[in-house]
Amino acid sequence: MSESYGAKDLEVLEGLEAVRQRPGMYIGTTGSKGMHHILWEIVDNSIDEVANGYGDTIEIELHEDNVVSVKDNGRGIPVDIHPKYKVPGVYLVFTKLHAGGKFNNKNYGFSGGLHGVGASVTNALSEWLKVEIARDKKVYSADFHSIEVNGKIKSGIINHELSVRDIDDKKARGTKVTFKPDPRVFNKEQFDFELIKTRIKDLAFLNAGMKISLADYRNLTESGKPKTKSYCYKGGLTDFVNYLNEGKTTLYQPPIFIEKKQDNFIVSVAMQLTDSYSENVYSYVNNIPTSEGGTHEVGFKSALTKALNDLGRQKNIIKDKQENYIGEDFREGLTAVLSVKMQNVQFEGQTKTKLGNPEARTLVEGLLTDAIKDYLNNKAKKEVIDAIFAKAALAMKARTKSAEAKNIARAIKNNSSSLIGKLSGCSGKKPELNELFIVEGDSAGGSAKMGRDPKTQAILPLKGKPLNTEKKRVADIVKNDELLSLINALGTSFDKDFNISNLKFHKIIILADADQDGGHIRSILLTFFFRHMKELITNGHVYIGMPPLYRITDRNGIRYAYDDVELKEMLATAAKGYTLNRYKGLGEMNPEQLWETTMNPAKRCLTKVTIEDAAEADHLITTLMGDDVGPRKEYIYEYANFNKQDDFKNILGNKG
């Protein structure tokens, strides 16, 4: 790696022609996720500078008209003339696919933006983009626009030549990219402060000592200042694990932290046991979350199991005639963050969610096996080792009981008695077309049964609140009638036996009232899915049904409003003498109304449940569903709206 980073270090593999025609090939979707993707590409480039030791600060700003800027204090994109292409290096970075300094491994030991398409794709899908580069006591700037030529949008058009101005600060350096996503591509999508905040928090944890900040100038305070968030964690992954375990009872402090390096491969892991029963391992490659795991996770789990069994034998904790523990025993209640930084990364799939490099497993397992034993022998107190093996022993006993409980559950499933009188099935034989509505209460369940399409829509009413599974073992779960009925209806089993190929319904729709009890039921079900059937969420099968809150009737007919904003718009055009009804629950709707507003695929509103950040989702579930009241109160006070009734009155105004 070299500080002398110039245009000659950039390689170009192909042009930029196809991005506008087929954006989905490059960013997956032209919805909100795709729009944020083009921001992450620019942020990743700044992170790569920081991760390779060339900077330590990144600033993101959100402005009106959906404009965003990303600024770092790295080396600055090259501005000198490329020897082959005869244009400034920055032009190549923003107008050519696969152009950058990350292919030959000389300029970056490792990088997240390893495909080199980021900056150019961001440019291609922006209405306009401006780059400002500070290097050598000068600021260089370039402007790019997407314009219409003969009915077609052309991207990457250079508005004017590279401009240069002198500055006095000889230490000033870095890159600032400001752009506006093209509404012709992304329609009315807007950057989401909370989503960006969550991602940059992860990046701060993964890059110890880096400061990354977010300022939202769209939402000014009373004093005229922007809404801001700033993160810097000197403890890195250790701070990350402590954050994830807030609200949990940990079995030792501080978390175990190990980092090992071999050539250009670095593996870091922080881990800590809690008294919970779920395993939570979150992995990253070059700062990119690998939510589906991959070879590095396999290597880590193998190393942990081998190291702890070897240590147990060495210290006579595991007796001669005693069997070794299996990996699940050691990982029950484990929170771990695994970070790998490497070259020539091979991700499986376009979404970069699973690492495929076979050598990563070998390297991680080889580097961590002895390192874990050395840490526990040399740095850990005896209490840490005792806690690890005491927890594993309990897990082994519980595993036997869980196996017995699952056998009972299978027997119940085979005679289907738990579903008699509960599930109203559908006649369709194709799971990809079938939908399961999980409905709160018998009253709403009755309306849903009468109002549904029996060919493709099945109804499972809940007679009471299901079990909160956040701190429950499998043996407890199968004793709960509501959850057992749900498991049997889906056909997938659950926990370690979960098999998504047996799923009977490709849409699972939670229908609950828009009140406190309904919200609690949704939270309980989502917690169960996240902890024991996570693939249902990651594969896009779980939805929240959105019943209307209001019904407006006037001489023009009946209309429904699904939130207060929509209500305000409808009231503004309502005829004189209208009537307004507010639904307190699904049970107030007759079958025709429930079909028309909530179940009819042609008219209904569904929200797909996704996991943008699995680690943050874990933390949120612990906050909302765990035993610690303090963090839950803090979250509620920050995000809950306690003025709904007042808002309702204000919306009605004088028309009520």
Q: Write down the pLDDT at residue 643.
A: 39
pLDDT at residue 3 greater than cutoff 70: no
57-63 and 211-220 strand pairing: parallel
Q: Write down the pLDDT at residue 69.
A: 98
Backbone angles phi, psi at 464, to 5 degrees: -155, 180
Give the residue ranges of DSSP H helices in 247-332: 295-314, 327-331
Is residue 617 within 8 A of residue 291, CB to CB? The reply is: no
Q: How many angstroms separate the CA atoms of 335 and 324, rounded? A: 22
Domains 7-231 and 237-396 share a fold: no
In this structure, of 70-79, 239-248, 325-334, 628-637, the range with the lowest mean pLDDT score is: 628-637
Report which secondary-structure segment, H or E, holds 599.
none
Average pLDDT of the segment spanning 48-74: 93
Dihedral angle computed from the Cα positions of residues 365, 370, 375 and 377, in that order, rounded to the nearest 10 degrees:
140
Question: Where do the DSSP E strands lie in 410-522?
Answer: 435-440, 457-462, 507-511
CA distances from 453 to 135, 216, 427, 470 (A): 65, 45, 10, 34
Q: How many angstroms separate the CA atoms of 452 and 436, rounded? A: 11
Is residue 385 within 8 A of residue 321, CB to CB? The reply is: no
Give the residue ranges of DSSP H helices in 52-141: 89-95, 118-124
What are the pLDDT digits (tens) for 267-311?
999 999 999 988 999 999 988 888 889 999 999 999 999 999 999
In this structure, of 87-96, 131-140, 614-623, the range with the lowest mean pLDDT score is: 614-623
Half-sphere exposure of 205 (CA within 13 A, CB side): 28
Cα angle 102-262-53, degrees, rounded to a multiple of 5: 45
Q: How many angstroms separate the CA atoms of 331 and 320, rounded? A: 23
CA distances from 136 to 76, 101, 106, 143 (A): 10, 19, 22, 20
Phi-psi region of 397 (alpha: psi -120 to 50; beta: other; left: phi over 0): alpha
pLDDT at residue 215 greater than cutoff 50: yes
Q: How many angstroms separate the CA atoms of 226 and 219, rounded? A: 6
Question: Where do the DSSP E strands lie in 279-433?
Answer: 280-285, 288-289, 334-341
Is residue 347 within 8 A of residue 354, CB to CB? The reply is: yes
Average pLDDT of the segment spanning 523-550: 91
Fold assignment, 7-231: Heat Shock Protein 90 (3.30.565)
Q: Write down the pLDDT at residue 111.
A: 54
Q: Write down the pLDDT at residue 182.
A: 93
Is residue 276 within 8 A of residue 471, CB to CB? The reply is: yes
In this structure, of 9-18, 98-107, 509-518, 643-652, the range with the lowest mean pLDDT score is: 643-652
pLDDT at residue 114 greater than cutoff 60: no
11-12 and 99-100 strand pairing: antiparallel
Domain ranges, ordered by start, for the chain: 7-231, 237-396, 416-547+606-625
What are the pLDDT digits (tens) for 372-420?
999 999 888 899 999 999 999 999 988 877 676 666 556 555 545 555 5
- Match domain 237-396 to its CATH number in 3.30.230.10, 3.40.462.20, 1.10.10.10, 3.90.1150.10: 3.30.230.10
What are the pLDDT digits (tens) for 314-368?
999 999 989 999 999 999 999 999 999 998 889 885 456 789 999 999 999 999 9
Dihedral angle computed from the Cα positions of residues 191, 192, 195 and 197, in that order, rounded to the nearest 10 degrees:
90
Q: Which residue has the tokens 């977010």?
A: 214
CATH code for residues 416-547+606-625: 3.40.50.670
Q: Write down the pLDDT at residue 221.
A: 85
457-462 and 435-440 strand pairing: parallel
CB-based contacts of 224: which residues, under 8 Å, 6+ apart? none
Strand partners for 415: none
Average pLDDT of the segment spanning 6-34: 71
Range ranked top by mean pLDDT from 54-68, 81-95, 591-605, 642-656:
54-68
Q: Write down the pLDDT at residue 654.
A: 36
Backbone angles phi, psi at 321, to 5 degrees: -90, 0
pLDDT confidence tier of residue 106, bands split at 50, 70 and 90: low
pLDDT at residue 651 greater than cutoff 50: no
